[in-house]
């Protein structure tokens, strides 16, 4: 394996349901890395012509240059030999338009304000989604229960309705964390139209939706991903959703 590559590549369970959209490209790329290839080279070898970026070694990023600004200026994605950047590259391969849009807005904010100690509202929202976001295509009844944090209704009473839903993870940090699944893991989900069937269609749609001021307020809803029916065997056990440390009740309204 390339120097610095985490042995946790071996721990990826490509049969996991959340990896279904990523398996076709991701598994062969991971095998290249496990066979000794650098992550950026393995990603680049799998990149279709439509992807507007090149994957470069981390050393290509000059000292003192902001990561997002460098990507925007050069169309090169500095990539380390680890799971985090591997999954980031997979998202670039599947959602190139959305990733380019996120990068554009980040670069615009950096050009306008510099790299601040604290990100502004838009940059913060973009980062949250880029690292931990997901798209949920689901009937209105599921969305109503999710927004109300009515976990019993969402996951138990309406459980059969999940057969009509699809959750597509986007955040590369979330994908990395799910290599070692733990019950408290939460995605920040954004609603997507059920009529869009392909990942390419979702990419084109989402790239048009990412904009200020709509995203400044983080229009996402927290979802404990391992509570999704069919995603983790443990959630079939009675009482799984009674854990208030994970399935938290809605916040009380402030006193008048």
Name the strand (E) or helix (H) holding 25.
helix 23-34
Q: What is the DSSP string of 82-130?
A: SHHHHHHHHHHHH-HHHHHHHHHHHHHHHHHH-S-SS--HHHHHHHHHH
pLDDT of residue 47: 87
pLDDT of residue 149: 95
HSE on the CB side for 173, CA within 13 Å?
11
Reported pTM: 0.92
Q: Are 131 and 173 in contact (CB under 8 A)?
A: yes
* pLDDT tier at 256, thresholds 50, 70, 90: low
**pLDDT, tens only, 127-140:** 999 999 999 999 99
- 46-75 in b/e form (b: 16+ CB < 10 A) is bbeeebebebbbbeebeeeebbbbbbbeee
What is the spatial distance between Cα 122 and Cα 210, in angstroms, rounded to a whole number? 10
pLDDT of residue 4: 52
211's CB contacts (< 8 A; 6+ apart) are 105
**pLDDT, tens only, 42-101:** 999 998 776 678 999 999 999 999 999 999 999 999 999 999 999 999 999 999 999 999
Range name among 112-126, 162-176, 219-233 with the lowest pLDDT average: 112-126
| Angle made by CA atoms 247, 190, 152, in degrees to the nearest 5 | 25
Q: Are 132 and 139 in contact (CB under 8 A)?
A: no
Give the pLDDT mean for 31-43.
Answer: 94
100's CB contacts (< 8 A; 6+ apart) are 52, 53, 207
pLDDT of residue 1: 46
Q: Where are the domains of the chain?
A: 14-128, 134-242
pLDDT of residue 159: 97
pLDDT over threshold 60, residue 117: no
What is the spatial distance between Cα 118 and Cα 16, in angstroms, rounded to a whole number? 36
pLDDT of residue 254: 47
């Amino acid at each position: 394996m390339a120097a610095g590559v985490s042995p946790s590549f071996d721990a990826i369970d490509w049969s996991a349901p959340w990896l279904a959209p990523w398996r076709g490209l991701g598994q062969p790329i991971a095998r290249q890395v496990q066979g000794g290839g650098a992550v950026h080279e393995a990603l680049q070898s799998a990149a279709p012509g439509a992807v507007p970026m090149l994957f470069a070694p981390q050393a290509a990023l000059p000292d003192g240059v902001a990561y997002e600004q460098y990507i925007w200026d050069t169309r090169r994605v500095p990539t380390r030999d680890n799971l985090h950047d591997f999954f980031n590259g997979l998202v670039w391969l599947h959602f190139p338009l959305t990733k380019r849009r996120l990068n554009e807005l980040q670069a615009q904010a950096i050009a306008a304000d510099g790299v601040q100690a604290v990100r502004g509202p838009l940059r913060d929202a973009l980062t949250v989604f880029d690292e931990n976001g997901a798209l949920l295509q689901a009937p209105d009844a599921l969305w109503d229960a999710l927004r109300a944090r009515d976990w019993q209704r969402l996951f138990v009473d309406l459980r059969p309705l999940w057969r009509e839903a699809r959750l597509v993870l986007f955040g590369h940090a979330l994908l990395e964390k799910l290599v070692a699944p733990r019950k408290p893991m939460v995605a920040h989900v954004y609603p997507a139209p059920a009529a869009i069937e392909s990942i390419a269609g979702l990419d084109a749609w989402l790239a048009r939706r990412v904009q200020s001021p709509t995203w400044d307020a983080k229009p996402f809803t927290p979802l404990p991903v391992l509570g999704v029916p069919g995603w983790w065997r443990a959630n079939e056990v009675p009482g799984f959703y009674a854990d208030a440390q994970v399935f938290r009740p809605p916040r009380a309204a402030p006193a008048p």
